[in-house]
Amino acid sequence: MAVLGAGMALPGLPISTETLLDMAGLEGKQRSLAIAVAKRLGVRTRHVGRSWRARADILRQGCSNADLAADAMRAALRDAGFGAGDLGYLIAHTATPAQPLPSNAALVADRLGYSGPHVELRQACTGFANALMIAFGLLKEPDARPVAIVGSETGSVFLDVDALDDAQGQLVNLVQMGDGAGAIILGPAAARQEYIHAAWFGAMGLGRHPGLQMRHGGSDRPALLGAGPLVFEHDFAAIGRSGAALFEAGAAVAEANGAALAHVDHIIPHQASGRIGLQLASYFGLPDSRFFVNADRIGNTGSAAIWIALAELRAQGHARGSRTLVLGAEATKYMHGGFVHVVP
């Protein structure tokens, strides 16, 4: 598929860890622990849309999930030289939609003035991979209209600052995550056009307890007992045991598609932390300069992370003949995905 344009949107200015902890009202032991966790994760700044007015909080005006997704889409459309009416399909993916119904994709389409077909995937860090599976089918014919994909995340409000003493996972969420959106515009393959050569998605979580989940808010648990906000729950031990295997599985598929790690110019891993590039470089025995990481500056933006990273890397300029390998990993049910981006 030809890559026609890309864009991103981040809420407000970057926020340092110290400023973030001031906003959250952390003091004493919890503040010291949060600073230590942020340093260990290598996340110095992030962009957060939360207003910090209440325990069950809201996002600032203009920073809703649909707002950020629409802004990223507008940037991608400008990059491609298109208007929303030029699109043939809109695919959105997020784990933190503005509301259960109508879909976040419908809200984004409304903001863009786009009246065409759209679909939403309720998926986090590997939503980009499933979206590409759909796009490949939609763009099979040479005269197919462009397909837009947008990933967005606004997880900062799914955090209970009053529970930080009892739930250390909330402390990790606070300093690790960031809000944002990233988008890409794709078209049928064309000569002398940068393109996505292959994409894949796989799962290793059959019969396993989720490593990351939000149990409330669906029809099994439609109400949250108490006055606190919905929160994400982590099984950090299980995630730690499975991380390398997820990246190994993606690397194996990439090699089968002619994109072995040692033979690509750039590698974009899922932006789990600011140190993920150094960790994977050591694990795979590669130079850390090969890995592109921006989580140290914008945090882990979940479903938006890959598209934001690709948009930023494209803006820096790709050399002719360069190839970028993307390796995504998701802890919910231990899923992996990826693709190869080529500049001929």
Q: What is the per-residue DSSP string for 191-252?
A: TTS-EEEEEEEEE--TT---SEE--SSSSSS-S-SSSPPP--EE-HHHHHHHHHHHHHHHHH
Question: Bridge partners of 327?
Answer: 269, 338
User: What is residue 246's predicted lDDT score, i.e. its pLDDT?
Assistant: 97
299 contacts 159 by C-beta, under 8 angstroms: no
Burial of 145 (0-12, 13-18, 19+ CB in 10 A): middle
Q: How many CB atoms lie within 10 A of CB 247?
A: 24
User: What is residue 294's predicted lDDT score, i.e. its pLDDT?
Assistant: 98
Q: Which amino acid is at 66?
A: A
Q: What is the pLDDT along the chain (344 residues), one digit of tens a residue?
A: 999 999 999 999 999 999 999 999 999 999 999 999 999 999 999 999 999 988 889 999 999 999 999 999 999 999 999 999 999 999 999 999 999 999 999 999 999 999 999 999 999 999 999 999 999 999 999 999 999 999 999 999 999 888 776 667 889 999 999 999 999 999 999 888 999 999 999 999 999 999 999 998 899 988 776 668 899 998 988 999 999 999 999 999 999 999 999 999 999 999 999 999 999 999 999 999 999 999 999 999 999 999 999 999 999 987 889 999 999 999 999 999 999 999 99
Of 82, 13, 110, the closest CA to residue 92 belongs to: 110
- Is the C-alpha dihedral spanning 276, 237, 39, 310 positive or negative? positive
Question: Bridge partners of 328?
Answer: 337
User: What is residue 99's predicted lDDT score, i.e. its pLDDT?
Assistant: 95
Q: Which amino acid is at 340?
A: V
User: What is residue 227's predicted lDDT score, i.e. its pLDDT?
Assistant: 66
Structure tokens, 93: 């993916």
User: What is residue 161's predicted lDDT score, i.e. its pLDDT?
Assistant: 83
User: What is residue 319's predicted lDDT score, i.e. its pLDDT?
Assistant: 81
Q: Which amino acid is at 252?
A: A
User: What is residue 225's predicted lDDT score, i.e. its pLDDT?
Assistant: 67
User: What is residue 166's predicted lDDT score, i.e. its pLDDT?
Assistant: 64
Q: Which amino acid is at 328?
A: G
Q: Give, in degrees to the nearest 5, the angle at Cα 70 between 178 and 182.
A: 45
- Is the C-alpha dihedral spanning 136, 137, 140, 141 positive or negative? negative
* Cα–Cα distance measured from residue 144 to residue 114, given in angstroms and rounded to the nearest whole number: 17
φ, ψ for residue 305 (rounded to 5)?
-60, -45
Question: Bridge partners of 163?
Answer: none
Q: Which amino acid is at 233?
A: E
Helix (H, G, I), strand (E, B) or coil at 150: strand
User: What is residue 280's predicted lDDT score, i.e. its pLDDT?
Assistant: 98
